[in-house]
């Protein structure tokens, strides 16, 4: 008599992918595609990977620096994620520069009450650059993700990027652009939803 091994089902980490497009007012023909993969890992980790395909020689990509917190990264090429983890109007802004620098902020409501974010760890980042591709990957702990898991609240995410070209022109990329000027903070920009 043969004994069968029981099959144990394991829950896979929540993962989503998205394509970012340039805001109509800020096109950039040096970029072919900008893809993002997002994954929530236990208990409170956000893993996010940006892959930009295009003519990198025409773009200003910050040189590697010491991996540390820095403000105003969004003034130059920078990859961003905005997180809503509960029903309150407050949200997080995460910035990842190809330089290795990063920032994390907490807003109490739409574009108000900005402070350095508590409960956000130092990210582990990896940057890979080739002639036609730039990959920026970050893994960062956000304690609010753990809290969202406990209440089974979906995490809503607005994915974005600011890309600067060699003529200092800036293009704004997002999964969803609200009407009007580029605005990554707008509630309509939170197009991705992951259930913890």
Element (H, E) at 54: strand 45-54
Q: Does 143 fall in a domain?
A: yes
Domain range spanning residue 177? 15-194
Provide the CB-side half-sphere exposure for 156 (13 A, CA).
15
46: CATH? 2.60.40.1190
Sign of CA dihedral 177, 57, 166, 125: positive
Q: Does 10 fall in a domain?
A: no
| pLDDT per position as a tens digit, 154-194 | 999 999 999 999 999 999 999 999 999 999 999 999 999 99
Q: Does 4 fall in a domain?
A: no
Q: Does 188 fall in a domain?
A: yes
Q: Does 59 fall in a domain?
A: yes
| CB proximity list for 7: less than 8 A, separation 6 or greater | none
- Considering its fold, how many domains does the chain have in total? 1
Tens-digit pLDDT profile for the chain (196 aa)? 444 433 333 344 568 999 999 999 999 999 999 999 999 998 999 999 999 999 999 999 999 999 999 999 999 999 999 999 998 999 999 999 999 999 999 999 999 999 999 999 999 999 999 999 999 999 999 999 999 999 999 999 999 999 999 999 999 999 999 999 999 999 999 999 998 7
Q: Does 173 fall in a domain?
A: yes
Q: Does 101 fall in a domain?
A: yes
């Amino acid at each position: 008599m043969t004994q069968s091994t029981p099959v144990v089902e394991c829950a896979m980490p929540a993962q989503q992918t998205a394509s970012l497009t340039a805001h109509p007012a800020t096109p950039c023909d040096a970029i072919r595609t900008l893809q993002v993969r997002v994954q929530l890992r236990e208990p409170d980790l956000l893993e996010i990977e940006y892959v930009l395909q295009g003519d990198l020689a025409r773009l200003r990509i910050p040189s590697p620096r010491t991996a540390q917190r820095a403000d105003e990264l969004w003034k130059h090429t920078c990859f961003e994620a905005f997180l809503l983890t509960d029903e309150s109007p407050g949200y997080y802004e995460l910035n990842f520069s190809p330089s290795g620098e990063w920032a994390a902020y907490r807003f109490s409501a739409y574009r108000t009450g900005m402070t350095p974010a508590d409960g956000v760890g130092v990210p582990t980042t990896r940057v890979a650059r080739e002639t036609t591709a730039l990959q920026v990957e970050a893994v960062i702990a956000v304690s609010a993700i753990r809290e969202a898991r406990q209440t089974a609240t979906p995490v809503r995410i607005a994915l974005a990027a600011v890309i600067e070209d060699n003529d200092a022109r800036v293009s704004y990329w997002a999964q969803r652009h609200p009407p009007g000027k580029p605005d990554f903070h707008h509630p309509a920009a939170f197009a991705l939803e992951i259930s913890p």
